[in-house]
Every structure is written in C-alpha cells, then in structure tokens.
C-alpha cells in the first residue's frame, strides 16, 4: 500500500517527504483554508516536493464549471489529479475529464455502490472516508472494506485511497485489507512512527555507546535522536 499525505501545509509535506515515505499528496478546500497563500502556487510547490499524484479539488457546483476548473487545475502540472465529489454532477464531470485522459479522484465516498459509480464514470481513484463514517456511529473500516471488495473483481482501472484517516489503526487496517493507498495527516504519521520502547531502547544504546567510548577514550559518536 502506498502512503500519501493529506495536507496543504508545505512545511509538513517537506518534513514527512524527508522521511522518504511519500508517494503522493491529497488536499481539499478545508485543508487549503487552513494555510496562507495562492492556491496554484501551493499546488506547484507540492508537485516539486513529492513526485506522485497530487489531488487538487474542484469547488464549482455545476458540471460545465467543474469540467473547466478541472481542466485548469490539471494544466498546473502533469501530476495533478482532479478531485471531484461523489454526486451526479461529479460523475458527469468525471466522465468528461476521463475522456480527455485527465485523472480524477472521486471524494466523499462512503459505500461500495458509490465507488462502483465513480469507477464506471472513469475515476482513476476513489476516496472512501473512514473517520467521518466512524463519526456518525458506523464502522468506517468496514465501509472501506465494502469499497475495496466491491471494486476487487471489476474491470475498472481504479485505485482506492483510504481517506479521513484518524489513527495508525486505520492505516494498518487499510493495508491488511489490500487498499491501494492511505492518505494520512501529518499528526498520524508521527503517531505511526513513535513508540516508547523505541525511545527507551535508543536511549540505552546511546548511553552504552557513550560509556564504551569513554572507556576506550574515543570520541563518542553524536547521540542519535529519538524517533
Ligand atoms: O482526504 C479527506 C480527508 O482530508 C478528510 O479528513 O479528518 O476531515 O474527515 P477529515
């Protein structure tokens, strides 16, 4: 399973890209509203930082305007993927853009039926929202499984992006069931990496390395940082 980052925060994208783990980026209007700066400049910078699919969401409500905004976003960089909502207008716009070979990520997907419609319209990616399904008292992981299994035996060339990820458990469950991608907020990347036993073990190794260096009168190697 590939790991994408779900943010428009350039500093965070740069930080996690530095780990060498990122295969793509997703953004949405709420994530963009949380950062300063011109939208197109942000997309261009993200494309410089991560060499993979970069989702940029359309905000127009009507099909004609969705299609022209999608074409405009797509022209920013070859790696841009146009993000469209899973609704009737979004399906029509997806099929129009797909005819031109423009990749589309259909977002706000919650069921296998919605995912099948997105795939049939020509979406290259479909994004089931796990956390938001949990939020209304349902099982988001099971809803994700419904999407993955619904698409599994179809002929569509579509990849599942696990979205609305709120915890490392969501990422692990997505990987175990064979979802293609998980798009992960920076905070969850940190939660995935950190472990108290790793920190404790590293402290001990650093202390032992320093003690040994003192005994042999060698300059100790610079202490390694905690994860
Ligand atoms: O990729 C969609 C995602 O950003 C939504 O996440 O946490 O706002 O439900 P959340």
Residue 211 lies inside a defined structural domain of this protein: no
Number of domains in the chain: 1
Residue 205 lies inside a defined structural domain of this protein: no
Atom of ligand 1 nearest to the CA of 55: 1
Say what the pLDDT of residue 143 is. 97
Say what the pLDDT of residue 198 is. 97
- Between the CA of residue 77 and those of 18, 24, 36, 55, 107, what are the distances in Å? 22, 14, 21, 11, 20
Counting ligand 1 atoms within 8 A of each CB, the residue from 9, 34, 128, 132 with the most, and so the one to mutate, is 132
> Whose alpha carbon is nearest atom 6 of ligand 1?
164
Q: What are 202-213's pLDDT values in tens digits? A: 999 999 999 999
Identify whether 64 is a catalytic site residue.
no
Atom of ligand 1 nearest to the CA of 166: 7
Say what the pLDDT of residue 218 is. 64
> Residue 210: which of 227, 201, 198, 222 has the closest Cα?
222
Residue 132 lies inside a defined structural domain of this protein: yes
Distance of alpha carbon 93 from alpha carbon 100, whole angstroms: 11
Say what the pLDDT of residue 70 is. 98
Say what the pLDDT of residue 217 is. 76
What's 129's DSSP letter? Answer: B
Residue 175 lies inside a defined structural domain of this protein: yes
What is the CA(174)–ligand 1 centre distance, in A?
15
CB under 6 Å to ligand 1: residues? 6, 26, 28, 127, 129, 131-132, 163-164, 183
> Sign of torsion, CA 51 67 39 2?
negative
Beta bridge partners of 184: 5
Distance of alpha carbon 53 from alpha carbon 216, whole angstroms: 51
- The stretches of 82-138 forming alpha helices (DSSP H) are 88-99, 112-121, 130-135
Say what the pLDDT of residue 219 is. 62
> Is residue 165 left, alpha or beta, with left meaning phi > 0 and alpha meaning psi from -120 to 50?
beta
Counting ligand 1 atoms within 8 A of each CB, the residue from 3, 30, 181, 182 with the most, and so the one to mutate, is 30
Residue 81 lies inside a defined structural domain of this protein: yes
- Between the CA of residue 99 and those of 19, 36, 136, what are the distances in Å? 36, 34, 36
Residue 178 lies inside a defined structural domain of this protein: yes
Give the range of the structural domain holding residue 85, as residue numbers without chain letter.
Answer: 2-193
What is the CA(164)–ligand 1 centre distance, in A?
4
Q: Which is the catalytic residue, given 83, 200, 218, 225?
A: 83
Residue 209 lies inside a defined structural domain of this protein: no
Distance of alpha carbon 12 from alpha carbon 4, whole angstroms: 12
> Residue 9: which of 28, 39, 40, 32 has the closest Cα?
32
Distance of alpha carbon 70 from alpha carbon 102, whole angstroms: 8
CATH number at residue 178: 3.20.20.70
Residue 202 lies inside a defined structural domain of this protein: no
Asked if residue 148 lies in contact with residue 177, where contact means CB atoms within 8 angstroms, the answer is yes
pLDDT in 10s for each residue of the chain, 227 residues: 999 999 999 999 999 999 999 999 999 999 999 999 999 999 999 999 999 999 999 999 999 999 999 999 999 999 999 999 999 999 999 999 999 999 999 999 999 999 999 999 999 999 999 999 999 999 999 999 999 999 999 999 999 999 999 999 999 999 999 999 999 999 999 999 999 999 999 999 999 999 999 998 766 667 666 55
Say what the pLDDT of residue 216 is. 86
Say what the pLDDT of residue 187 is. 98
């Amino acid at each position: 399973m590939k790991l994408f980052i779900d943010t428009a925060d350039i500093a965070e994208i740069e930080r996690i890209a530095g780990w060498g783990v990122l295969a793509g980026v997703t953004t949405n209007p709420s994530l963009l509203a949380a950062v300063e700066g011109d939208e197109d400049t942000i997309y261009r910078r993200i494309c410089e930082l991560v060499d993979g699919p970069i989702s940029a969401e359309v905000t127009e409500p009507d099909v004609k305007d969705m299609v022209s905004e999608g074409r405009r976003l797509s022209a920013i960089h070859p790696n841009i993927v146009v993000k469209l909502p899973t609704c009737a207008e979004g399906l029509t716009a997806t099929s129009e853009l797909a005819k031109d070979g423009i990749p589309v990520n259909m977002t706000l997907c919650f069921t296998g039926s919605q995912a099948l419609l997105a795939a049939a319209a020509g979406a290259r990616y479909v994004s089931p929202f796990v956390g938001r399904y949990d939020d209304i008292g349902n099982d988001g992981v099971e809803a994700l499984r419904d999407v993955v299994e619904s698409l599994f035996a179809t002929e569509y060339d579509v990849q599942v992006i696990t979205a609305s990820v709120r915890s490392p458990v969501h990422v692990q469950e997505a990987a175990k069931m064979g979802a293609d991608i998980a798009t992960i907020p920076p905070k969850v990347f940190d939660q995935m990496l950190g472990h108290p036993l790793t920190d404790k073990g590293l402290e001990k190794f650093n202390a032992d390395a320093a003690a040994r260096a003192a005994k042999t009168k060698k300059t100790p190697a610079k202490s390694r940082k905690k994860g």
